[in-house]
Structure 1
C-alpha cells in the first residue's frame, strides 16, 4: 500500500502559504472541462507538460480547485459507503480506507488549487487509461491505482505517457488515482522531500461574467 494522505508523514508537513494567485486554465492554453482554477505554478507546469505530448495528443483537465464544502461532502459520502461495505469497521480504519480515494479535508490538495484530475485526449476523444476518472477502488477492483496490473496494455502505455510528461514538468501522482496529479501540496512536499507545502486552502475567485 502506498503512503496515503491520511498518513502522519503527510499530515504533519506544514503548509506555508506562498500567496500565489489562482489562474483560470481557460486562458493558459490547457484544455479543461468548463472553467477550472489552479495555482499559477501548477498552471504553468501543466502547459509545459502539454507541450511535451506527441502531436494530436493533449492533456484534458476535468477538475482543479474544489470548494471546501464539496470536498467535505465527497469524503463523508465515501466514508458512509465504506461503512456500509464493512460493517463495524473502526473509525480510524475507515478514515485510512477513505483516504485511498478522497483526501481528508484538512490536507486536501484540491481545496488549495494544488491538484488536478486529468486525462489524455485526442481527435477521436479520451484515451483509454484503464478506468473512468473517479472510479473507486471498489468499483474498479483496484484498477484505479496507477500501477494496477489488471488493465490493458494500451491503458498501461497511456498511463506511462501521462506520467512521463507530468513528472518531467514537476508534478507528482497520488498513486491510488492515476488521474490525480499535484504540485505545491503536502503530498508533493513529501514526494519531493521538501520541508513544507507552499499552498494552503484558498477560496474560488468571484469573477463578473465568468462562469463558475
Structure 2
C-alpha cells in the first residue's frame, strides 16, 4: 500500500482513446515492447479521453514557450501484465548490474533490490482498490524533444533506479550541467501542471491526471481539497 491508495476510486467509465501521435514525438520502437513486453490487443499509446485532451493542452503550452518543441511520449497505458513484466525485468537487470545471479542473493540483498525496484515501479496489483497508475489509463511517462528533433537531456534516463530520478535532484547540484537539467525538468513540470496533471514526487518523467496519485497530490497541496480518483484499473 502507498499513501495515495487511501484515495477512493469513483470510476467514471470514460473510454481509452488513441493519443494523436502526429502531435507529439514518440519513442520508437516502444521501449517495453523492445524488451519483450507484450500488449496483446492493447496499445501503450492510449489514455483516457480527457487525459489525452489535457496532454494536447500541455503540448500547446509548451509550444507557446518553445515553438516547434514537442512532448515525447515514452509510455502511457500499461496493462497489469506489462507492469508485472517490467517489474520482473527490472529486478533481473539490477541483479545483473551488480554482477550477481539470483541464486547468489542473500535475503538482505534480495530485499534491498526489491525495495529499489519498487521505488520506481508500482506493484502490479490486481486489487481494484490499488491499481498501478498506468493501468488506469491516466498516467503517462514523457520527456522533451527540441526544435532540431533531439531529445532534451534531462540528466538521467526514464526508469533509472537512482536518486537522479527525483525531480529536484539537480536543483542545487554541483554538476556543471545541473541547472540546465533542472530547468528542463521544471519546464516539463510547468506545462503539465498548467494542463491539470500532477507529477510523481519520485520521478521527473511521470505525470497523471484523474488517478489516485493525482487526487492525493492535489489534496496534499491544499488541505481544503477533497479530490477522489475518477479512473480505476482497466485490465
Shorter-chain TM-score: which interval? 0.7 to 0.9
Distance apart, 1:98 and its partner CA: 3.0
Q: Hey, what does 2:8 align to over in structure 1?
A: 14
User: Alpha carbons of 1:196 and 1:57: their partners in 2 closer, same or farther (altered >3 Å)?
Assistant: same
Q: Hey, what does 1:75 align to over in structure 2?
A: 87
Distance apart, 1:90 and its partner CA: 9.1
Query: Any idea what SS the aligned residue of 1:133 has?
Result: coil
Distance of 1:30 and 1:82 partners within structure 2 = 31
Q: Hey, what does 1:165 align to over in structure 2?
A: 191
Q: Hey, what does 2:55 align to over in structure 1?
A: 46
**How do residues 60-209 of structure 1 correspond to structure 2 at under 5 angstroms?**
60-79=72-91, 87-89=106-108, 96-106=115-125, 107-124=131-148, 125-137=150-162, 142-149=163-170, 150=173, 152-193=178-219, 194-203=226-235
Distance of 1:94 and 1:135 partners within structure 2 = 13
8 A Cα contact 2:218 2:227, kept in partner: no
Bigger radius of gyration: 2
8 A Cα contact 2:199 2:207, kept in partner: yes
Query: Any idea what SS the aligned residue of 2:145 has?
Result: strand
User: Alpha carbons of 1:98 and 1:122: their partners in 2 closer, same or farther (altered >3 Å)?
Assistant: same
Unaligned runs of 5+ in 2: 29-42, 99-104, 126-130, 220-225
State the aligned residue count: 193
Distance apart, 1:130 and its partner CA: 0.7
Unaligned runs of 5+ in 1: 1-5, 204-212
Distance apart, 1:33 and its partner CA: 3.7
Q: Using structure 1 for the length normalisation, give the TM-score.
A: 0.79
Moved more, 158-167 or 78-87: 78-87
Moved more, 89-98 or 110-119: 89-98
Distance of 1:161 and 1:104 partners within structure 2 = 29
Distance of 2:206 and 2:24 partners within structure 1 = 16
